Amino acid sequence: MKLTSKRIVVTGVSSGIGAETARILRAHGAIVIGMDRNEPHLSLDHFIQADLSHPDAIDAAVRQLPDTLDGLCNIAGVPGTADPQRVAQINYLGLRHLCAALLPRIRAGGSIVNVASILGAEWPLRVDLHKALARTDSFADGQAWLAEHPVPPESCYQYFKEALIVWNALQAQPWFLQTSVRMNCVAPGPVFTPILGDFVAMLGKERIDADAHRMKRPAYADEVAAAIAFLCADESRWVNGINLPVDGGLASTYV
């Protein structure tokens, strides 16, 4: 894959899919600037410690980044077992804030990749709500809209993954037409990562057992990372605004 010398920011770089993405990008010659709350235990070209749940912290991290970039992989995320406020802030509002802050620095031909989830597949059921939230244009406006349209805490993970898929679809083409920067989502199914247990707790035994008969196994994080790397690479240069399932076929069994 053509990634040589591309300068790419990877959030959530210290574990799971983020760490594997950094490894693959660097193996293909990219320059990886990692961000995470936690210290990384892998080689990176640069690392910025940051909690991406608040715009001030994000802005502080952004100030430490170079003026020109070739890509951004938004992989940081918390599971549905976390505080629902943090789910909204990290998985959606903060992600949007970071994209908007970095877009002016990403060169034409660059790429943004957002990690959604197979659990966002039911976005068409609530598409009008998700479009309304997508139209808010700052972290604070989004938070104000959410205060008026509260999300059930038990399904907040799914809700904000759906919202991310819809925002990605609405925002990608306007940005691409203006800046020639592409933006896409990846939608992993179950993945062997440090937070797999949180998903089992969140979804319950019935759904886990039903899915187990429909798939071979959870993905290895590097299998998801390989698809993220493709979306960063020049080989995907005409892929924009999509949500790419990387689930070993699981989602197709629900068609």
Q: Which residues are CB-contacts of 131 (< 8 A; sequence separation ≥ 6)?
A: 166, 170
Q: How many CB atoms lie within 10 A of CB 153?
A: 13
Among 57-65, 91-99, 174-182, 192-200, the segment contacting a second copy (CB under 8 A): 174-182
3-state secondary structure of 49: strand
The residue count for the chain: 255
**157 assigned to active site:** yes
3-state secondary structure of 4: coil
Q: CB nearer to a second copy: give 20 or 36.
A: 20
Q: Show contacts with a second copy in window 214-253 (CB under 8 A).
A: 214-216, 219-220, 223-224, 226-227, 229-230, 234-242, 244-253
Question: Residue 133 CB, nearest distance to a second copy (Å)?
Answer: 14
Contact indicator for 148, 132 with CB cutoff of 8 Å:
no
Question: Residue 142 CB, nearest distance to a second copy (Å)?
Answer: 19
Token couple for 66: 């170079």
Q: CB nearer to a second copy: give 103 or 224.
A: 224
Q: What CA–CA distance (Å, rounded) separates 118 from 112?
A: 19
Would you tell me which residues interact with a second copy (CB under 8 A)?
A: 1, 127, 166, 168-170, 172-173, 176-177, 182, 214-216, 219-220, 223-224, 226-227, 229-230, 234-242, 244-253, 255
User: Which residues form the catalytic set?
Assistant: 157
